[in-house]
Amino acid sequence: MLLKDKIAVISGGASGQGLASSRLFLTEGARVVIVDWNAEQGEKAVADLSSLGDVRFVACDLGQEPQVRAACDRILAEVGTPHILFNNAGIGYSEHGRFKMASIFDTPLEDWDAILRINLTGAFLMTKYLGEPMLDRKAGSIIFNTSIAGVVGQKNIDAYTASKGGLVSLTRALAHSLGEHGIRVNAIAPGTIDTPMIRPVLDQASTAERLAVIPLRRIGTPDDIAGLALFLASDHSAYVTGQIIACDGGRVAI
Ligand SMILES: NC(=O)c1ccc[n+]([C@@H]2O[C@H](COP(=O)([O-])OP(=O)(O)OC[C@H]3O[C@@H](n4cnc5c(N)ncnc54)[C@H](O)[C@@H]3O)[C@@H](O)[C@H]2O)c1
- Ligand 1 centroid from CA 209, angstroms: 24
Ligand 1 atom at minimum distance from 220 CA = 3
Q: Read off the DSSP letter of residue 117.
A: I
What does the alpha-carbon distance between residue 178 and residue 194 come to, in Å, rounded to a whole number?
Answer: 33
Largest CA distance in the chain: 50
Closest to 87 measured CA to CA, from 134, 17, 153, 40: 17
CATH class of segment(s) 7-247: alpha beta
Is residue 191 predicted with pLDDT exceeding 60? yes
CB atoms within 10 A of CB 205: 11
Q: Could you tell me if the CB of 14 is within 6 A of ligand 1?
A: yes
Cα distance between residue 59 and residue 37, in whole Å: 5
The pLDDT mean for the chain works out to 95
SS3 133: helix
**pLDDT tens for each residue of 163-181:** 999 999 999 999 999 999 9
Nearest to 201 by CA among 60, 120, 96: 96
Predicted local confidence at residue 61, as pLDDT: 97
Which of 139, 30, 5, 62 lies closest to 131 in space, CA to CA? 139
**How confident is the model at residue 209, as a pLDDT?**
87
For residues 60 and 37, the answer to whether their CB atoms sit within 8 Å is yes
157 CB under 6 A from ligand 1? no
What value does the mean pLDDT take over residues 209-222?
A: 95
pLDDT of residue 88: 98
9, burial (CB in 10 Å: exposed 0-12, middle 13-18, buried 19+): buried
Residues 237/229, Cβ–Cβ less than 8 Å: no
pLDDT confidence of residue 103 = 92
